[in-house]
Amino acid sequence: MRSGLVRYFAATRPAFLTVTLVGCLIGLAAAHRDGVGIDALTALGTVLLALVVHAGVNVINDYHDARNGADAANTRRLFPFTGGSRFIQNGVLSERAVGRYGYLLLAAVVPAGLLLAWQAGAGLLAIGAAGLVVGWAYSAPPLALMSRGLGELAIAAGWLLVVVGSDYVQRHDFAALPLAAGLSYALLVANLLFINQFPDHDGDAAAAKRTLVVRLGPQVAKWGYLLIAIFAYGWLVAMIAREVLPQRTAAAAMTLVLSFSAARELLHHAEDPPALAPAIKRTILATNLHGLILAAALAWGR
């Protein structure tokens, strides 16, 4: 029983769930910055629901990548960063069990989400519904946004919704601050997805999974990482210059050293997956550290 629970927990790729936790912290910090009293119980509920949704999206991604053959064809994956959990391919869980588990995780958040919306306001229904649709459509046909070269857009939208939703549960209304604070972080999360597509390029192409990297080719697509990073940090600076964000949030821009260093590595090794491990590690660090600094600066600067 215990080993079964461990397998199912590991199937969610828990190491990558930190980006959702950090996104929630940004949203909570934005509400606190505007003088909203933080309710600990609803804040905890928000974080748990967001983590379950992200876990479900990860599992569903593994399920559909098994069905379309992308993970089976992926012989150049960069463990443990790309290529999914491979629980299906390694016989840890059956394809059917993974599919059921992923959709069960998404379904499980609905009643709890409705209860949270009853307390926070009807706007949370729209945020939650949009998040579930984006998470499902990222991998699942007929939309399969990642296979249409729209995965980065879906990821940016999804994590911006995490920030906005966490703020809304406390504020009970929509506001500009979580949007202003969350976009740079959401773009860096999208860049994490983007760089992970380079080691998976051959497997994705063989399975006709036409991600943005497959569509453009590694030598053209590699410039996309730098462009996304420039836009993310440019947005942060612009929001500070317009006094939408407090001056101390500029500290989050320090992570551009990590992002630009990773971009340089990608420019040199776009078609050499083993050499991309340091760049992926820096991207993970830049993303999480950027969000944590941003959340701390917002919370401290009330």
The distance of Cα 143 from the centroid of its chain, to the nearest Å, equals 18
Residue pLDDT, tens place only, 161-217: 999 999 999 999 999 999 999 999 999 999 999 999 999 999 999 999 999 999 999
Residue 130: predicted pLDDT: 97
Residue pLDDT, tens place only, 107-155: 999 999 999 999 999 999 999 999 999 999 999 999 999 999 999 999 9
Residue 1: predicted pLDDT: 43
- Count of domains for the chain: 1
The CATH number of whichever domain residue 267 belongs to comes to 1.10.600
Look at residue 301 and tell me whether its pLDDT is greater than 70: no
- The amino acid sitting at 275 is A
Residue 302: predicted pLDDT: 56
Look at residue 287 and tell me whether its pLDDT is greater than 80: yes
Place of tokens 């629970």: 5
Q: Answer yes or no: are the C-beta atoms of 257 and 216 closer than 8 Å.
A: no
| Domain span at 236 | 2-300
What secondary structure, in 3-state letters, does 247-299 show? HHHHHHHHHHHHHHHHHHHHHHHCCCHHHHHHHHHHHHHHHHHHHHHHHHHHH
Burial category of 202 from C-beta neighbours within 10 Å (exposed 0-12, middle 13-18, buried 19 and up)? middle
**Phi, psi angles (nearest 5°) of residue 208:** 60, 30
Q: Answer yes or no: are the C-beta atoms of 99 and 86 closer than 8 Å.
A: no
Q: Answer yes or no: are the C-beta atoms of 173 and 121 closer than 8 Å.
A: yes
Residue pLDDT, tens place only, 60-118: 999 999 999 999 898 888 888 898 899 999 999 999 999 999 999 999 999 999 999 99
Residue pLDDT, tens place only, 8-57: 999 999 999 999 999 999 999 999 999 999 999 999 999 999 999 999 99
Place of tokens 């999206």: 57
